[in-house]
């Protein structure tokens, strides 16, 4: 059995195709990371919390936030916009931009412990401060859904 020397041009072509494939995977991955996790999800109502680690109201409302998210997470996206420090504020602004809710963020970024229920178009259906009642949030999600459909 004789071994033939591989065609140098075919070998170069294979290496080039492998390189282009690898680059494509990297670019797609980077695009996904830059778009943020929320951008990949289906549009729908949002329940948005303005949070800071130093906020006493935010700490006290954590159990009611988790209850609402567990009960209603299938009917709305629950999003926390963290304004604890400058870096988190900047990241939350980018997230708000990606979600199309910059107006809500700008109006409430200094009001930690605030929760807004917004339609998929960014329209505010309800705003709450502090602890949440699941049924009240459920009604607000329904209102947000209605507004988006109007």
118 burial via Cβ count (<10 Å: 0-12, 13-18, 19+) = buried
Domain residues of the chain, as ranges? 1-35, 38-149
- d(CA 147, CA 135) in angstroms, rounded, equals 18
In the chain, which residues have pLDDT < 50?
A: 28-40
- d(CA 38, CA 53) in angstroms, rounded, equals 22
Q: Cα-Cα-Cα-Cα dihedral of 68, 142, 115, 32, to 10°?
A: 90
pLDDT of residue 34: 46
pLDDT of residue 3: 55
Strands (E), the chain: 46-51, 77-82, 114-118, 124-129
- d(CA 71, CA 146) in angstroms, rounded, equals 20
CATH of 38-149, one of 3.40.30.10, 3.40.630.30, 3.30.420.140, 3.40.50.2000: 3.40.30.10
pLDDT of residue 44: 87
pLDDT of residue 4: 56
Q: Cα-Cα-Cα-Cα dihedral of 58, 104, 120, 88, to 10°?
A: -60
pLDDT of residue 1: 52
Please tell me whether residue 77 adopts helix, strand or coil conformation: strand
């Amino acid at each position: 059995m004789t071994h033939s020397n591989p065609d140098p041009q075919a070998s170069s072509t294979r290496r080039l195709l492998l390189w282009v494939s690898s680059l494509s995977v990297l670019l797609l991955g980077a695009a996904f990371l830059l778009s943020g996790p929320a951008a990949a999800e289906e549009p729908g109502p949002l329940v948005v919390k303005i949070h800071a680690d130093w906020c006493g109201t935010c700490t006290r409302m954590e159990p009611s936030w988790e209850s609402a998210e567990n009960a209603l997470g299938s009917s709305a996206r629950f999003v926390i916009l963290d304004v604890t420090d400058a870096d988190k504020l900047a990241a939350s602004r980018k997230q708000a931009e990606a979600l199309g809710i910059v107006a809500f963020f700008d109006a409430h970024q200094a009001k930690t412990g605030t929760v807004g229920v917004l339609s998929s178009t960014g329209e505010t259906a309800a705003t709450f401060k502090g602890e949440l009642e699941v049924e009240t949030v459920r009604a607000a999600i329904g209102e947000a859904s209605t507004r988006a459909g109007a």
